[in-house]
């Protein structure tokens, strides 16, 4: 770690110690003293924020007021707005810059530490320039984060206003929960000849909705861009500081840990003050829905009919009607009331229970990402193949109330039930074991991804149910179990002949090729494994479980993501770099291909540590000329040995450590389909077998070194990542 990095750590440690002391004092903190200023210039300063110790809750909420300008704590970052309802602190974010005529190191980087506050993920990391790149580093709790972006252009005429996709302007998303960031700006070249239109690289974090790129920014940026910081009070709702007529809301613990206060319904004001939430006079503000007389009440209002009339007095209700026969009306009313009272007793329980059930369903719908799912599906631009929203009653009836005899699968994720709809069509219902609110986005992601796929070898999503505590997904029913069961179950593996295995491999490769290159938006599955491949009665492969999948924008070739997948199938390059590409699926498919060849599981715990990975064990066996010894016994025949070699060679290419050296899924699918068709022709006409083998051997690729030849004779396919290489070259150059 350099001196600069050590300086950051020391500053951060001091800040953490101050925060601990501050938090200790917060428990017994009092409300602001009388006479505390509630503004600085034209910026309102609501409590718990304040401009002096007797006015703010703790040092996290200190606003320095200097010459009628509000600054965030003791920094030089101006505050432009503070919102109470959503916990937003809007500040003007400083920019890092690297100019060709400037050698000031302090201009190149900007650092911000937020203690218990975090940066809202509505912000985006932005880089502006024509030969520019910048990094953003930070921490989410104790976990480090690193990201970057690069921008190119030839002139200010080659960029498009409002577009920030890499030509003059580049933007990337930032994760939730960043409480510390360090931004550093660089330029690849000292291009004094183009200084008239692009003298500097600029890097900053900006609220996405408040920023629109302009070509004039390439020559100079004079305006300040806003950034949103999420704030909350550090603590729990059991010891909250909310005032009267207010309630405490615990935050999610990642974006802004702690809690916030909100005024009760019918009240408005500052919920952090003892008497800050005041009753809203709906009648005076004319926000009521009364047709005649509005009467304000504490926290609410009522509608009354004029004298001599009766009814509900609510607009859109039954309205007010004249009392034509008051005595008769009262008499009949009493008699009818007695009768209705007897009937109401039997209905009251059912009504209350139904209302409670409706509220519970609404609560679960929101918790399970219903609004997020609606938003995602609404962005599908009117797709005709929309998933159905099932009710709890439909699925309970279909599964006989989730009876034990309807269970067709169990696993770490939960349970799968078979059900039958009213038209007797079979469905599969995926039900998680536990409720994990952190997995709501993954659940919504699986619905969105599957709803965009229309392929015969992908398990079709029929719909979902969000009205239960555990969200449910409804798929088409695939009758013959998983590929994992057929490979590793002694009662089923004999049914998987070589012909079936080759057919299944070709179908899996073809659907992954479709996801990578033929889908409207490329999709990386991220969890390709034999247990996620289902088979129907004709042994047709169906790829399932898209919960970890990632949609890839057309202008991106790789994504920085948190590593997800299954050990034994996980791409080692992805595990090391967190850079997700379609070649990660190619590696996982290679492991499945080896499973089909060998009949062995992806992790072999009965072998030495260096051979516990099936991929390593397979490649080692190839290099030791033990290929046929590790294959499934009933798969090998004298007629298909050459085909097995070719499939083994293809699997070895898929398992290369470097993703750039692996084939694409399109190439894999074409090769497997070619082998399948050739073998099918040989089965139909055995006399063509010898000729087909001879022709193929003449076209043998130099990857055959896996079967005993010198590895130095192989042609290595090297990929080239221009951005990565140029960043490594330029990281020490600057302007």
The catalytic residues are 527
Beta bridge partners of 112: 181
What separation in angstroms does the CA of 717 have from each of 242, 649, 659, 709?
Answer: 64, 15, 10, 18
What separation in angstroms does the CA of 396 have from each of 351, 409, 472, 474, 664?
Answer: 21, 18, 12, 12, 44
Beta strand pairing call for 533-535 and 541-543: antiparallel
Contact 204, 136 (CB under 8 A): no
CA distance 213 to 231: 28
Dihedral of the CA atoms 210, 215, 220, 225 (nearest 10)? 0
Neighbours of 285 (CB within 10 A): 9
Helix residue ranges, H only, 257-385: 282-285, 326-367, 370-378
CA distance 316 to 295: 18
Contact 58, 26 (CB under 8 A): yes
Phi and psi torsions of 367, nearest 5°: -60, -35
Dump strand ranges (E) for 477-529.
Answer: 523-524
CA distance 582 to 101: 42
Neighbours of 301 (CB within 10 A): 19
Q: For residue 100, what are the contacts with CB-CB under 8 A and spacing of at least 6? A: 187, 190, 191, 192, 195, 199, 200, 735
If you count them, how many residues does the chain have? Answer: 735
| Helical packing angle, 641-654 and 688-698, nearest 10° | 30
Rg of the chain over Cα atoms, rounded to whole angstroms, equals 33
What separation in angstroms does the CA of 486 have from each of 165, 493, 526, 635?
Answer: 46, 5, 22, 14
How far, rounded to the nearest angstrom, does the alpha carbon of residue 372 sit from its chain's CA centroid? 11
Dump strand ranges (E) for 52-179.
Answer: 63-66, 69-72, 79-83, 88-92, 96-99, 109-113, 118-119, 123-128, 131-140, 143-152, 169-173
Burial category of 353 from C-beta neighbours within 10 Å (exposed 0-12, middle 13-18, buried 19 and up): exposed
Contact 706, 652 (CB under 8 A): yes
CA distance 473 to 416: 10
CA distance 226 to 92: 5
Beta bridge partners of 39: 44
């Amino acid at each position: 770690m350099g001196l600069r990095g050590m300086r950051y750590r020391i500053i951060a440690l001091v800040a953490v110690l101050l925060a601990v002391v501050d938090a200790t004092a917060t428990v017994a903190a009092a409300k602001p003293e009388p006479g505390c200023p509630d503004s600085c210039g034209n910026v309102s300063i609501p409590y718990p924020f304040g401009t002096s110790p007797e006015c703010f809750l703790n040092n996290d909420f200190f606003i320095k007021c200097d010459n009628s300008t509000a600054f965030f704590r003791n920094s030089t970052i101006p505050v432009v707005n503070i919102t109470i309802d959503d916990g937003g602190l809007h500040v003007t974010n400083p920019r890092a810059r690297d100019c060709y005529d400037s050698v000031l190191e302090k201009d190149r980087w900007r650092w911000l530490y937020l203690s218990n506050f975090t940066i809202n993920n509505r912000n985006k990391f932005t880089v502006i320039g024509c030969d520019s790149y910048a990094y953003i580093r930070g921490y989410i709790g104790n976990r480090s984060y690193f990201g970057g972006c690069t921008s190119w252009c030839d002139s200010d005429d080659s960029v498009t206003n409002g577009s920030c996709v890499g030509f003059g302007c580049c933007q990337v998303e930032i994760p939730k929960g960043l409480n510390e960031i360090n931004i550093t700006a660089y330029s690849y070249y000292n291009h004094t000849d183009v200084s008239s239109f692009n003298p500097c690289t600029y890097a900053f974090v900006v609220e996405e909705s408040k920023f629109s790129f302009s070509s004039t920014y390439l020559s100079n940026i004079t305006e300040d861009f806003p950034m949103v910081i999420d704030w909350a009070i550090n603590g729990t709702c059991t010891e909250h500081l909310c005032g009267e007529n207010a309630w405490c809301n615990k935050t999610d613990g990642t974006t802004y840990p702690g809690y916030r206060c909100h005024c009760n319904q019918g009240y408005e004001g500052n919920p952090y003050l003892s008497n800050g939430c005041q009753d809203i006079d709906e009648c005076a503000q004319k926000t009521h829905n009364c047709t005649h007389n509005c009467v304000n009440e504490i926290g609410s209002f009522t509608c009354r009919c004029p004298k001599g009339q009766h009814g509900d007095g609510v607009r859109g209700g039954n309205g007010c009607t004249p009392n034509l026969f008051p005595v008769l009306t009262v008499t009949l009313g009493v008699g009818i009331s007695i009768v209705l009272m007897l009937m109401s007793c039997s209905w009251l329980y059912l009504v209350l229970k139904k209302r409670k059930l409706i509220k519970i369903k609404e609560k679960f719908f929101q918790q399970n990402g219903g609004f997020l799912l609606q938003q995602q599906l609404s962005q599908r631009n009117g797709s005709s193949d929309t998933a159905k929203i099932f009710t709890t009653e439909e699925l309970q009836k279909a599964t006989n109330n989730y009876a034990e005899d309807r269970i067709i699968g169990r696993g770490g994720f939960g349970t799968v039930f078979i059900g039958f709809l009213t038209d007797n069509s079979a469905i599969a219902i995926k039900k998680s074991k536990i409720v994990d609110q952190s997995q709501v986005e993954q659940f919504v992601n699986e619905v969105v991804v599957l709803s965009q796929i229309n392929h015969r070898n992908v398990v079709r999503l029929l719909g979902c149910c969000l009205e239960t505590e555990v969200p449910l997904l409804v798929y088409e029913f695939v009758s013959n179990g998983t590929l994992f069961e057929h490979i590793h179950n002694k009662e089923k593996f004999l049914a998987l002949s070589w012909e079936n295995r080759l057919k299944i491999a070709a179908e899996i490769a073809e659907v992954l090729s479709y996801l990578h290159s033929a889908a409207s938006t490329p999709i990386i599955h991220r969890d390709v494994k034999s247990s996620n491949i289902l088979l129907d009665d004709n042994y047709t492969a169906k790829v399932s479980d898209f919960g970890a999948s990632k949609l890839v924008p057309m202008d991106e070739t790789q994504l920085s993501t948190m590593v997800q997948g299954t050990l034994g199938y996980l791409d080692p390059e992805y595990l090391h770099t967190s850079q997700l590409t379609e070649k990660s699926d190619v590696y996982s498919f290679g492991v499945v291909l080896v499973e089909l060849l060998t009949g062995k599981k992806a992790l072999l715990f009965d072998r030495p540590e260096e051979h516990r990975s099936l991929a390593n064990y397979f490649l080692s066996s190839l290099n030791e000329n033990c290929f046929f010894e590790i294959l499934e016994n009933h798969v090998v025949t004298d007629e298909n040995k050459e085909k097995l070699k070719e499939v083994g060679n293809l699997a070895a290419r898929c398992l290369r450590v470097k993703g750039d050296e692996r084939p694409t899924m399109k190439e894999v699918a074409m090769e497997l389909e070619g082998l399948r068709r050739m073998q099918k022709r040989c089965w139909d006409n055995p006399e063509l077998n010898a000729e087909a083998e001879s022709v193929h051997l003449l076209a043998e690729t130099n990857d055959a070194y896996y079967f005993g030849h010198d590895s130095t004779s192989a042609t290595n396919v090297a990929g080239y990542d221009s951005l990565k290489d140029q960043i490594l070259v330029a990281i020490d150059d600057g302007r």
